Amino acid sequence: MQLEQTVSEMAEEVLARQAKSLADRIGQPFARALEIVADTEAGRQLRELANGEHRYERTRDWQAGMLWERAEERLTHLIASDALSGFVAERPYSWLEGYMEWLEGKEARSKYHALLEEELASLRG
């Protein structure tokens, strides 16, 4: 890959390199190996890239743009993660509060059950 080549040239170079490697491994002619490589999902994506809207852009410009896009995605993910951890930090013992409420409810239920048992005993006896 060269800095001053177009995206289209870069994609074609990658396809050709993969086809040559395949041709050497399986003993097929280069043209047949290129068809096989181009027919894979990765090959179709490279062909789309080679023929797409960015095909005339210089590789270094396209790569720089891709690096910025990835950096923005990572930063967005990091900010979202920080916001979530901030929310958790605000209520670090919320699970404990919920458990304590549950225990309090359990105590009230046990008193209710004791009253029911007394009532049932008086009805039986």
> Which pLDDT tens digit goes with each residue over 21-59?
999 999 989 999 999 999 999 888 888 878 877 666 666
Q: Is residue 122 part of a domain?
A: yes
pLDDT, the chain, mean: 77
Q: Is residue 124 part of a domain?
A: yes
Per-residue pLDDT, 46: 82
Per-residue pLDDT, 31: 94
- When divided into structural domains, the chain yields a total of 1
Q: Is residue 97 part of a domain?
A: yes
Q: Is residue 25 part of a domain?
A: no
pLDDT(9) > 80: yes
Q: Is residue 30 part of a domain?
A: no
Per-residue pLDDT, 35: 92
Q: Is residue 45 part of a domain?
A: no
Contacts of 19 (CB under 8 A, 6+ apart): 30, 33, 34, 36, 37, 38
More confidently predicted of 29 and 102? 29
pTM over the 0.75 mark: no
DSSP H helices in the chain: 7-26, 30-38, 41-51, 59-90, 94-124
Domain span at residue 98? 93-125
More confidently predicted of 60 and 2? 60
Q: Is residue 51 part of a domain?
A: no
